[in-house]
């Protein structure tokens, strides 16, 4: 490990952070105490998710559920509905579960200890350290994707980030900067992440604006664009399927059939439209009861595959099968507010458009 004047490094980072930190709804203003509930909620929402996407959700959640006890008392379906569109829906289940555990077993107060935090649902190594440092000012070693990149460049760590050895090395580097005897641990942890988000970006880092450029081994040799080394990505397979818009007249209104998805797997527990399985080749039209006419194509990309769905409009009268138990009718004008994940929201919009034209 090479030599960094840690007190000097921290002073530079804290000075930069004080002037350049973004004002965010969950961030404590200067001189104010952080709200652990807000801090936790934002950290869960920010997992694998960009700040801009989180802001409206954070406002909505804190408006509906001002305290953790309120969230704990809410029905899970309501939480899932409000989470719809944010993705990684297991986070919403864990969020709700965590709120219940903290309310019931910790008197509504988050534990300050990293190890204890890590036992809570949805809280892993990163989030435990972040809450301990940011909400409670502890010298926890906070390492997210941003910090990994920052220290990899600072110390010119050449090995690909995926390796376990890399994680350990980067953790040691971060720990070497997280000296317990210093102060402002909450601000320092956020400063490291903020630097990664604003200056030390994945592509085209703004080294000219970096407060600690003089400490950066990568910038010294002009290698900041080569570090960290990215692992090669596996190609995404294509999958195909069918999606059904099953219509029923209800007085002078029209209704669509929706289904609650199983509580495990993709889009677990979310509401969607019925359809076929998604497989490597397209399902055959004649396999469907009533042999509907295909209407339009819905494309969507998930983390690990591309999906192409054929949209079918099906009059309920022509349906030759019984409805599954997890299906229910819903007024067509209220489908956009029921809390659909993005795939189904997109599919519904295309359905509405296609229906108007037709």
Query: Which residues are 341's β-sheet partners?
Result: none
Binding region for DNA (CB under 7 A) out of 18-26, 183-191, 293-301, 330-338: 293-301
**Structure-token match 């407060």, residue found:** 211
Is residue 191 a contact point for DNA (CB under 7 A)?
no
Residue in 194, 197, 190 with CA at minimum distance from that of residue 137: 190
Site string for DNA, 218-247 (x = CB under 7 A): ------------x--x--------------
As given in the structure block, the two tokens for residue 27 are: 């961030």
Q: How far is the CB of 257 from DNA (least distance, A)?
A: 20
> What's the angle, vertex CA 45, arms to CA 135 and CA 136, rounded to 5?
5
Catalytically annotated residue among 43, 187, 194, 259: 43
Query: Do 227 and 218 meet the contact criterion of CB atoms below 8 Å apart?
Result: yes
Residue 330 touching DNA (CB under 7 A): no
What length does the chain have?
Answer: 358
Nearest to 46 by CA among 118, 95, 117, 97: 95
DSSP string, 41-78: HHHHHHTTS-HHHHHHHHHHHHHH-SSHHHHHHS-HHH
Q: What's the maximum distance between 2 C-alpha atoms anywhere in the chain?
A: 77
Radius of gyration of the chain (CA): 24
In angstroms, what is the minimal distance from the CB of 1 to DNA?
Answer: 21
Pick the closer one to DNA by CB: 13 or 86.
86
Segment near DNA (CB under 7 A); pick from 9-17, 273-281, 329-337, 339-347: 339-347
Please report which helix (H) or strand (E) contains residue 336, including its range: none
Q: Say how many residues touch DNA, by CB under 7 A.
A: 47
Q: Are 25 and 55 in contact (CB under 8 A)?
A: yes
**Which residues ranging from 134 to 163 are in contact with DNA (CB under 7 A)?**
144-146, 149
Is 39 one of the catalytic residues? no
Q: Which of 27, 34, 88, 160 binds DNA (CB under 7 A)?
A: 88
Tell me the backbone φ, ψ of residue 234, rounded to 5 degrees: -85, 140
Residue of 303, 321, 337, 356 interacting with DNA (CB under 7 A):
303
Query: Which parts of 2-21 interact with DNA (CB under 7 A)?
Result: none
Out of 128, 133, 134, 309, the residue judged to bind DNA by CB under 7 A: 128
Among positions 256, 341, 348, 351, the unique one binding DNA when judged by CB under 7 A: 341
Nearer to DNA, 248 or 306 (CB): 306
Q: Which residues are marked as active site?
A: 43
The footprint of DNA (CB under 7 A) covers 46-50, 52-53, 84-90, 94, 121-128, 144-146, 149, 164, 196, 202-203, 230, 233, 265-268, 299-304, 306, 341-343
């Amino acid at each position: 490990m090479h030599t960094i004047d840690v007190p000097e490094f921290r002073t530079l980072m804290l000075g930069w952070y004080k002037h350049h930190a973004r004002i965010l709804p969950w961030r404590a203003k200067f001189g104010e105490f952080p709200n652990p509930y807000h801090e936790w909620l934002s950290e869960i929402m920010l997992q694998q998710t960009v700040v801009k996407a989180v802001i409206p959700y954070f406002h909505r959640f804190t408006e509906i559920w001002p305290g953790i006890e309120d969230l704990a008392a809410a029905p899970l379906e309501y939480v899932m509905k409000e989470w719809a569109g944010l993705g990684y829906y297991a986070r919403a289940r864990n969020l709700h579960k965590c709120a219940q555990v903290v309310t019931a077993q910790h008197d509504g107060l988050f534990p300050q200890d990293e190890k204890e935090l890590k036992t809570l649902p949805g809280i892993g190594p990163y989030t435990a350290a972040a809450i301990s440092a940011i909400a409670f000012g502890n010298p926890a070693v906070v390492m997210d994707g941003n910090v990994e990149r920052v220290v990899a460049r600072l110390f010119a760590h050449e090995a690909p980030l995926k390796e376990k050895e890399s994680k350990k090395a980067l953790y040691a580097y971060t720990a070497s900067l997280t000296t317990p005897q210093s102060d402002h641990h909450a601000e320092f942890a956020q400063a490291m992440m903020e630097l990664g988000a604003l200056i030390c970006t994945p592509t085209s880092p703004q080294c000219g604006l970096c407060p600690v450029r003089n400490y950066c081994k990568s910038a010294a040799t002009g290698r900041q664009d080569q570090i960290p080394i990215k692992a090669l990505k596996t190609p995404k397979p294509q999958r195909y399927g069918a999606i059904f818009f099953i219509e029923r007249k209800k007085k002078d209104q029209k209704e669509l059939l929706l289904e609650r998805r199983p509580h495990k797997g993709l889009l677990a527990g979310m509401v969607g439209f019925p359809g076929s399985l998604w497989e490597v080749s397209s399902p055959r039209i004649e396999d469907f009861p009533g042999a509907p006419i295909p209407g339009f194509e819905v494309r969507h990309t998930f983390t690990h595959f591309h999906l192409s769905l054929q949209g079918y409009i099906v009059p309920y009268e022509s349906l030759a099968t019984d409805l599954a138990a997890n299906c229910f009718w819903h007024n067509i004008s209220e489908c956009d507010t029921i809390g659909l994940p993005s795939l189904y929201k997109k599919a519904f919009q295309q359905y509405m458009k296609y229906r108007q034209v037709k």
